Amino acid sequence: MTRLTHLDENNNPSMVDVSHKAVTRRSATAQSVVFLPPAVQAAFHDGELMTPKGPVFHTAIIAGVLAAKQTHHLIPFCHPLGIENCKINMQLDDTGNVRIHCTVTVTHKTGVEMEALTGASVAALTVYDMCKALSQDMVIGETRLLKKTGGKSDIDHSNEDNQ
């Protein structure tokens, strides 16, 4: 059985010691999907929706980037990182739902999977918040890691069917 990384030899919660790891360029991409009911889908025009709170996608992108940069304040054992790049892409997919991709890059001793997942999640929450006046039947669907590179093991789930 694989040992959990955030437990020390006495099974106490602990931050992972990365002092022995090599500094490498690391990146991660996460996705979150917001399922929109027809009333919300109909309100989008040319791929964007303007609300009294502002443009939905632009605001959600800003919120997602801010969240990715603050991940270490939200997740107890995440290392504080000087994120070098965070890109959030949002679009309505073929079924009229919002598909959010968050890619985070850093040159460091630890990866940025949690930062990418946090960025995608908060962007999805922001879409919900800004559209809830139209309908509260939205569902924030699967949030998942699609790809990571630069660490001990690379993964790529970006071409799997359930994305």
- Write the pLDDT tens digit of every residue in 34-61: 999 999 999 988 778 888 888 999 999 9
The predicted model gives 89-96 an average pLDDT of 94
Arithmetic mean of pLDDT over the chain? 90
Q: Up-side HSE of residue 70: CA atoms within 13 Å toward CB? A: 11
Q: Tell me whether residue 35 is in a domain.
A: no
Provide the domain count of the chain: 1
Write out the residue range of the structural domain in which residue 52 sits: 42-150
Q: Would 113 be classed as within a structural domain?
A: yes
Any domain includes 8: no
Weakest-pLDDT range from 14-18, 65-69, 108-112, 124-128: 14-18
| Residue 24 lies inside a defined structural domain of this protein | no
117 in a structural domain: yes
DSSP code, position 71? H
Give the confidence band of 161 by pLDDT, cuts at 50, 70, 90.
low
- Catalytic residue (choose from 8, 93, 129, 154): 129
Residue 161 covered by a domain: no
129 catalytic per annotation: yes
Instruction: Give domain status of residue 22, yes or no.
Output: no
Between the alpha carbon of residue 70 and those of residues 74, 80, 81, 116, the distances in Å are: 7, 8, 9, 11
| Residue 13, in any domain of the structure | no
Which CATH number goes with the domain that contains 46?
Answer: 3.30.70.640
Is-above-0.85 flag for pTM? yes
pLDDT in tens, 111-156: 899 999 999 999 999 999 999 999 999 999 999 999 999 877 778 8
CA distances from 39 to 36, 59, 135, 136 (A): 8, 20, 7, 10
